């Protein structure tokens, strides 16, 4: 090789090397300077994963601070949706199925369904047990992407005891998202209150979910370096109810398994002390996956366990309504305390119809008090005829009938108090006669009331209208959170001496009238029985009472469906509950709830 040739080849070699290194340098510069931001974002995207942290739901306590509902955490073993490829052999998945003894077909079907639903993570083992969780944690380096996720689950500590009042939570559905309106915080699979207090106080109980950025490694495991809260979790706030656990247990115990309900209310504070609807259901079933058979059994139960009989159900008030008719008659001067009307001969003829009294042989000559004590229909037919339908309706409304009185429950019924306008609309002007007054006067016909309205009526009669609106939630704050209007009831339009007379007469009902079975040895009880005609079957038994007569502190309504006579079926239930109230408790009707709600917001995220 000549020196010139060598020199030439050396130059070419040199040029080639420099050119190649030049290309590398330019490319490196382009990647690290102009494209630096792009790659930095990619690196961040790689390692930062956004986690949404559900807030722990506020707990529910009774008036003494006893926990009624709290949260527990359940763990699911989850895998990334991208890691599940149906139809392909997957050794990791096979191993997991084996370790956790999972039924193969069922699990694969569930994973497939979840993947098709577009979930980012699939639940491999729902409700994992401690050994299963430990198994995952031990082997996590060999299980890329497999993770234990916890989620809070609602727990109702007294099963069916408070089911209708507290309600239950369930997964958010489309209807909930629609009604949630502007609240963007709800995601599918979140829990939302579906009934009762859970639904009424949803805003307070829920809190707000947080968003956290976590650094993960290539296997998808959180490495615990610099978690960053984009948005802090706001835990739901606790809520304290006015209900008393022992009184609720007494009520449920007295009612037994008969379909019906009872509500007790303080005549001083308006606080609801017990409210039970029978038959009840276990709300814990609503937060867990339930088998189809279990669910069908609940749904198709002819006794309708989901039906809230003190809030949703409406019945004719029957003879309980005679108190209203009496007060209206006295208010408008059509009768006095001792008025004696035409004698009862087992009924009353009006127009071409004969209106029966419940007592076939008749009550004979009775005065106003005797008529109420013995619940004489004939007497009240005549009082009704002396009144205008609007006068009677106004008296009923003044006592709280015809409108929702708790105000916070979406499911609460308003009942119906028909007046002239209502009949005109229904039958057309002149399409109805004064005969409707006869039915209205004894609480039948179109009249409909809820048991809650009737206990409020009893408490208002007992307190001469001074009792506040019924309330289920202890502090005013929470009451407002639950959406209750801060309205105080209007004063009663009845004369104090008329109310006095009514209370004394109602005491006679229990002392030696139809309500004798609610009598207590040492406490004077005032009450009224009722037997609501039921076209579909046996009559509904009503009993409404308050005690003590001199200084009433507690009112109670009991209703037993298809049971027959109120005096024999409902009054004993009331009697046994009152016995517990006066002899086994510190009489919580006397004072409002004092204890502030417990601090602990319930669980940790």
Partner 1 sequence: MRIPTWLQPPGDRWIFTSWLLLCLGSLAMLWSVTEPLRGSYEALDPGVAKEVFSKQVLWVFVGYLALLGAARVPLRALEHAALPLCLGMIVLLALLLAVGPQISGSRRWLMLGPLRMQPAELAKITFILAAAHLLGRSQQDSRGLAVTLGTFGLMALHAGLVLKEPDLGTALVFVAIWIGMAFWYGMPGIFLLGAGSAFLSSVLLFYSEWTRTNQPAAEPSSSWAVYTGPWAVYILILLGVLYFARIGIAAKVVLLCLNVATGLGIPFFWEKLHGYQQERILTFFDPMRDQFGSGYQAIQSKVAIGSGGLFGTHYLQGTQKGLAFLPERHTDFIFSVVGEELGFFGAMVLLALFLTIILRGLDVAAEARRPFCSFVAIGVVSYLTFHVVVNVSITTGLLPVTGVPLPLLSYGGSNMLTSSILLGLLLNIGSHSFED
Binding site residues, partner 1, CB under 8 A? 1, 5-7, 9-10, 12-14, 17, 20-21, 23-25, 27-29, 31-33, 35-36, 38-40, 42-43, 46-47, 82, 140-141, 144, 215-219, 221-226
Bridge partners, 71 (sequence order) = 154
Question: What's the 3-state SS for 385-411?
Answer: HHCCHHHHHHHHHHCCCCCCCCCCCCC
CB of 596 to partner 1, least distance (A): 39
Between 20 and 340, CB nearer to partner 1: 20
CB of 82 to partner 1, least distance (A): 8
Between 31 and 72, CB nearer to partner 1: 31
**Contact predicate 452/406, CB 8 Å:** yes
CB of 145 to partner 1, least distance (A): 11
Between 33 and 89, CB nearer to partner 1: 33
CB of 93 to partner 1, least distance (A): 16
CB of 112 to partner 1, least distance (A): 21
| Nearest in space to 463 (alpha carbons), one of 552, 554, 592 | 552
- b or e along 230-241 (b: 16 or more beta carbons within 10 Å of the residue's beta carbon)? eeebebbbbbbb
CB of 49 to partner 1, least distance (A): 11
Supply φ then ψ for residue 470, to 5 degrees. -60, 140
**Contact predicate 402/417, CB 8 Å:** yes
Rg of the chain over CA atoms, in angstroms?
Answer: 35
Residues whose CB falls within 8 Å of the CB of residue 153, separated by 6 or more in sequence, listed in order = 71, 72, 73, 74, 287, 288
H or E segment and range at residue 547: strand 540-547
What is the rounded distance in angstroms from the CA atom of residue 281 to the CA atom of residue 164? 8
Between 24 and 495, CB nearer to partner 1: 24
Between 141 and 174, CB nearer to partner 1: 141
Between 91 and 141, CB nearer to partner 1: 141
What is the rounded distance in angstroms from the CA atom of residue 2 to the CA atom of residue 6? 6
What is the rounded distance in angstroms from the CA atom of residue 118 to the CA atom of residue 470? 46
Bridge partners, 110 (sequence order) = none
What is the rounded distance in angstroms from the CA atom of residue 519 to the CA atom of residue 571? 9
Between 14 and 354, CB nearer to partner 1: 14
CB of 19 to partner 1, least distance (A): 10
Between 87 and 289, CB nearer to partner 1: 87
CB of 96 to partner 1, least distance (A): 17
């Amino acid at each position: 090789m000549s020196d010139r040739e060598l020199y030439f080849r050396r130059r070419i070699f040199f040029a080639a090397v420099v050119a190649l290194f030049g290309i590398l340098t330019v490319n490196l510069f382009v990647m690290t300077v102009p494209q630096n931001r792009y790659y930095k974002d990619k690196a961040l995207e790689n390692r930062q994963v956004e986690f949404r942290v559900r807030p722990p739901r506020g707990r529910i306590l009774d008036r003494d601070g006893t926990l009624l509902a709290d949260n527990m955490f359940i763990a699911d073993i989850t895998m990334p949706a991208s890691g599940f490829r149906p139809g392909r052999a997957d050794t990791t998945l096979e191993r997991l199925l084996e370790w956790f003894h999972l039924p193969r077909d069922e699990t694969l079907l569930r994973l497939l369904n979840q993947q098709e639903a577009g979930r980012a993570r699939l639940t491999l083992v729902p409700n994992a047990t401690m050994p299963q969780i430990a198994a995952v944690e031990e082997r996590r380096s060999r299980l890329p992407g497999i993770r234990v996720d916890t989620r809070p689950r609602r727990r109702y500590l007294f099963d069916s005891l408070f089911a209708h009042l507290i309600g239950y939570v369930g997964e958010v559905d489309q209807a909930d998202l629609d009604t949630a309106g502007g609240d963007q915080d709800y995601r599918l699979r979140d829990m939302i209150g579906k009934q009762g207090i859970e639904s009424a106080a949803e805003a307070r109980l829920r809190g707000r979910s947080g968003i956290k950025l976590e650094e993960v490694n290539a296997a998808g495991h959180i490495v615990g370096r610099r978690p960053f809260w984009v948005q802090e979790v706001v835990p739901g706030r606790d809520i304290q109810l006015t209900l008393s656990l022992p009184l609720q247990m007494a009520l449920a115990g007295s009612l037994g398994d008969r379909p019906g309900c009872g509500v007790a209310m303080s005549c001083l504070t308006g606080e609801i002390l017990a409210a039970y609807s029978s038959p009840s259901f276990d709300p814990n079933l609503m937060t867990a996956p339930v088998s189809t058979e279990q669910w069908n059994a609940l749904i198709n139960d002819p006794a309708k366990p989901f039906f809230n009989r003190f809030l949703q159900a409406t019945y004719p008030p029957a003879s309980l309504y005679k108190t209203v008719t009496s007060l209206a008659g006295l208010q408008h001067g059509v009768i006095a305390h001792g008025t004696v009307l035409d004698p009862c001969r087992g009924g009353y003829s009006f127009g071409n119809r004969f209106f029966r009294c419940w007592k076939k042989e008749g009550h004979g000559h009775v005065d106003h008090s005797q008529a109420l004590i013995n619940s004489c229909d004939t007497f009240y037919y005549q009082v009704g005829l002396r009144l205008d339908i609007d006068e009677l309706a106004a008296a009923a409304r003044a006592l709280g009938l015809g409108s929702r009185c708790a105000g916070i429950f979406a499911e609460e019924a308003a009942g119906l108090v028909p007046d002239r306008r209502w009949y005109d609309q229904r039958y057309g002007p002149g399409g109805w006669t004064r005969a409707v007054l006869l039915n209205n006067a004894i609480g039948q016909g179109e009249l409909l009331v809820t048991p809650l309205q009737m206990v409020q009526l009893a408490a208002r009669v007992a307190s001469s209208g001074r009792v506040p609106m019924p309330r289920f939630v202890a502090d005013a704050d929470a009451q407002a959170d639950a959406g209750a209007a801060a309205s105080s009831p209007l004063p009663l339009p009845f004369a104090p001496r008329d109310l006095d007379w009514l209370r004394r007469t109602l005491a006679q009902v229990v002392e030696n009238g139809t309500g004798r079975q609610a009598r207590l040895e040492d406490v004077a009880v005032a009450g009224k029985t009722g037997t609501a005609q039921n076209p579909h079957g046996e009559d509904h038994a009503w009993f409404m009472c308050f005690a003590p007569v001199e200084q009433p502190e507690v009112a109670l309504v009991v209703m037993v469906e298809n049971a027959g006579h109120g005096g024999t079926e409902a009054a004993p239930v009331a009697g046994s509950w009152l016995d517990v109230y006066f002899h086994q408790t510190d009489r919580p009707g006397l004072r409002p709830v004092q204890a502030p709600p417990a601090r602990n917001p319930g669980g940790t995220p």
